Amino acid sequence: MAHALKDKKRLAARISRIRGQLNAIDRAVREEKDCYRILQTTAACHGALNSLMVEILESHIRHHLLEPDAARVAERRKAAREVIQIINAFLR
C-alpha cells in the first residue's frame, strides 16, 4: 500500500480510534454494562471500520485502476481482481 503512505498518519489515527472503540466494547462486556450501550458502541465501531475500508479501497482503485499509464495493464487487471475479491469478502 505504498501509495497510501502520504495518508499514513491519518489512517493510523483512524485505526487507533477503532482500537479504542473495540477496547471499550471489551470492557463493557466484561463489566456487564447496559446492552444498549454495548450495541451502540459496536455499531459505531462497525461504521468506523466500514469508513476505513472505503477510504483504503478508494485509494487502491484510484492508484491502480484509474492511472492513465497504459503500460500498467497487467497491474490494473490484478488490482481489479483484488478489488472484486475484497468486495466479495466484505459483503459476506
Residues contacting residue 24 through CB under 8 Å, at least 6 positions apart: 41
Q: Does 39 reside within a domain?
A: yes
pLDDT of 36 > 80? The answer is yes
Lowest-pLDDT choice from 7-11, 14-18, 60-64, 68-72 = 68-72
pLDDT digits 0-9 by tens, 52-84:
988 888 888 877 777 767 667 788 788 888 888
Q: pLDDT value at position 42?
A: 95
The CATH number assigned to the domain holding 82 equals: 1.20.58.1000
Q: Does 51 reside within a domain?
A: yes
Q: Does 31 reside within a domain?
A: yes
- How many domains are there within the chain? 1
Q: Does 41 reside within a domain?
A: yes
Q: Does 1 reside within a domain?
A: no
- The whole domain housing 28 covers 8-90
Q: Does 2 reside within a domain?
A: no
